Amino acid sequence: MVRVEDVDHYHDRDLRGGARILAPPSDYPYGERQCTIEDLAGHRWTFSQSMMDVDPTAWGGVLVDQPEGSSER
């Protein structure tokens, strides 16, 4: 997965270059716009662009308890 500023730019560029489009640019409820391509060597790439900051509970995210003593959130 590659974070970019303009998913449509990468989609159009790669389409012109002969890449196979596996998933066209689409907006997702978690605030990302993404597309997935397969390059000429068979490598798959997902390009992701942040569109908005969305509360995870708005799209079905859940809070998971962290092990005691963990500083990660």
In order, the DSSP letters of 3-38 are E-S-HHHHHHHHHHTTPEEEEEEEE-TTSEEEEEEE
Q: 9 and 3 in contact (C-beta within 8 Å)? A: no
Domains and CATH numbers, the chain: 2-54 (3.30.720.110)
Q: Report the predicted TM-score, pTM, of the whole model to 2 decimal places.
A: 0.75
The pLDDT of residue 62 is 84
| Beta bridge partner(s), residue 45 | 37
H or E element that contains 50 = strand 44-50
The pLDDT of residue 66 is 72
Instruction: pLDDT tens for the chain, 73 residues: list them.
Output: 999 999 999 999 999 999 999 999 999 998 999 999 999 999 999 999 999 888 888 888 887 877 776 665 5
- Please tell me the distance from the alpha carbon of residue 14 to that of residue 67, in angstroms, as a whole number: 43
